[in-house]
Structure 1
Amino acid sequence: MKMVTAFTGNMKRAAAGLKRINLDGLRWRVFDAQGQVLGRLASQIATVVQGKDKPTYTPNRDDGDMCIVLNAKDVCVTGRKLTQKVYYWHTGQVLCICTIIMVCSYIGHLKKRTLKDQMTLDPTEVIRKAVLRMLPRNKLRDDRDRKLRIFPGSEHPFGDRPLEPYVMPPRSVREMRPRKRRAMIRAQKKAEQQQQNADGKKGKNGEARKKLHEDTILLKEDGAHTDCHSNGKPSVSKA
């Protein structure tokens, strides 16, 4: 992973809020999102930004490290989340009436956006929302959010910092097969099921025809036996 590259983005946005962070004793951890699953990556970032990977972790203190996430545009999702996952938001305002605080939400103007559209507009918000929703909703949440710096590509303005690349833990489960491979397996299973159903119908029809043939033979034999008896009757002579 290339750590130092020329940064051509919005420097003001990239360095926003750094003055409010006490950087003494903090490490600068670098996460490469390229090829990583969104949820697994967000869980690791949430652990580091809270300081849970340190033996000195305390829930009421903000001891988390600075987290720099690169290549946010190349993050991966599993299944059909790219088209089925939807982000919702709507406007609202806070009204103070006689020391009573009321929150008015205009749910009638609900807006939505799929994950695919959000990745096209701003892929950094996808990772930011995933991490923030894994953090406790307390007074330390905003401070931890300031320690999270996400960039769509490999460019970032923190090349002069002592950066430490973060190594993702190995996955203990097997890798998921590609979507085309899974689709081919489903098609093969469907074809086998259809073939089994067709063979079952043929077997049932063959048994029915065989039974009908046997019944026809029995009827013919009964008819022939009756004819023989009628022909063998003694004739009665008229007086």
Structure 2
Amino acid sequence: MAAAAAAWRKLRAGLIPQVTEGRRWLLIDAKKEVLGRLASKLAIVLMGKDKPTYSPNKDEGDICVVINAKHITYTGGWKLKNKVYYWHTGYIGHLKQIKLNHMIERDPTLPLRKAVFRMMPRNRLHRRRMLKLRVFADERHPFDDKPLVPWTMPPRNIRKPRIYVPRSIKLARRKLAEREAAAAAAAAAAAESEGDGGTAKEGVDRPQ
């Protein structure tokens, strides 16, 4: 029990009064959200760009508590097994790498934290802004005593897939349409000429 309580206190650590004073506590449910879209919106909220009082040299963003990080959606069927994260230890030949599926098995919150970390500018406010991001794998979090405000993502606009048509087929369709239009115009002209000839013939045969 003592170890669990210590771990629970560690999740709340780092939020100094200067960071939490005058900030909103936002509760974000990451279930079925796309990783990149969610990370970009979180970066905007952490920097305070969604407020009219935004200033690049001040830390005025809100505190984001993200839950259900293990249920995040990863678009593209190849990313889980083929997307690779690289880092270097500083020693010669010590280039490390890990695939996305292995990273999720190790820590489900790590992909989202890395995405948000890399979407914010590298300056002196970077660390203080990242302190306001708290990500949890499931619905349990230690901030029940805070005035959490639910925050929802804007609706996702899924475009219909564009069907590729070869240029040769496009040219063939264009020529066919031109031929059909020319044939229709010729048929209309022929019908009009036949009508004019019939009326003229009726005028000649009409008795005086």
Regarding TM over 0.5, the answer is yes
**What is the CA deviation profile of residues 69-112 of structure 1, one whole-angstrom value per residue up to 9, with x for unaligned ones?**
101111111111111111112212xxxxxxxxxxxxx2412221
Q: Tell me the distance in 1 between the aligned counterparts of 2:108 and 2:61.
A: 24
Q: Tell me the distance in 1 between the aligned counterparts of 2:144 and 2:105.
A: 27
Q: 1:70 aligns with which of 67, 71, 78?
A: 67
Aligned twin of 2:84: 86
**2:142 alignment partner, SS class:** coil
8 Å contact 1:89–1:110 — kept in the other structure? yes
Number of aligned residue pairs: 157
**1:123 alignment partner, SS class:** coil
> Structure 1 residues 73-82 or 15-24, which shifts more?
15-24
Q: 2:96 aligns with which of 88, 111, 115?
A: 111
Matched, 1:123 2:73: no
Matched, 1:137 2:109: no
Unaligned runs of 5+ in 2: 162-208
Q: Tell me the distance in 2 between the aligned counterparts of 1:163 and 1:68.
A: 8
Matches within 5 A, 1:196-235: none
Cα drift, residue 9 of structure 1: 8.6
Aligned twin of 1:194: none
Cα drift, residue 43 of structure 1: 0.6
Aligned twin of 2:134: 149
Q: 1:170 aligns with which of 155, 164, 182?
A: 155
Q: RMSD of the alignment, in Å?
A: 1.9
**2:109 alignment partner, SS class:** helix
- The structure with the larger Rg is 1
Unaligned runs of 5+ in 1: 1-6, 93-105, 177-239
**What is the CA deviation profile of residues 124-174 of structure 1, one whole-angstrom value per residue up to 9, with x for unaligned ones?**
111110001000011100000100101111100000111011111112334
**2:120 alignment partner, SS class:** coil
Identity of aligned residues (%): 53
Aligned twin of 1:192: none
Cα drift, residue 20 of structure 1: 5.4
Q: Tell me the distance in 2 between the aligned counterparts of 1:29 and 1:175.
A: 33
Q: Tell me the distance in 1 between the aligned counterparts of 2:32 and 2:23.
A: 27
**2:113 alignment partner, SS class:** helix
8 Å contact 2:19–2:128 — kept in the other structure? no
Moved over 3 A (4+): none
Q: Tell me the distance in 2 between the aligned counterparts of 1:32 and 1:175.
A: 26
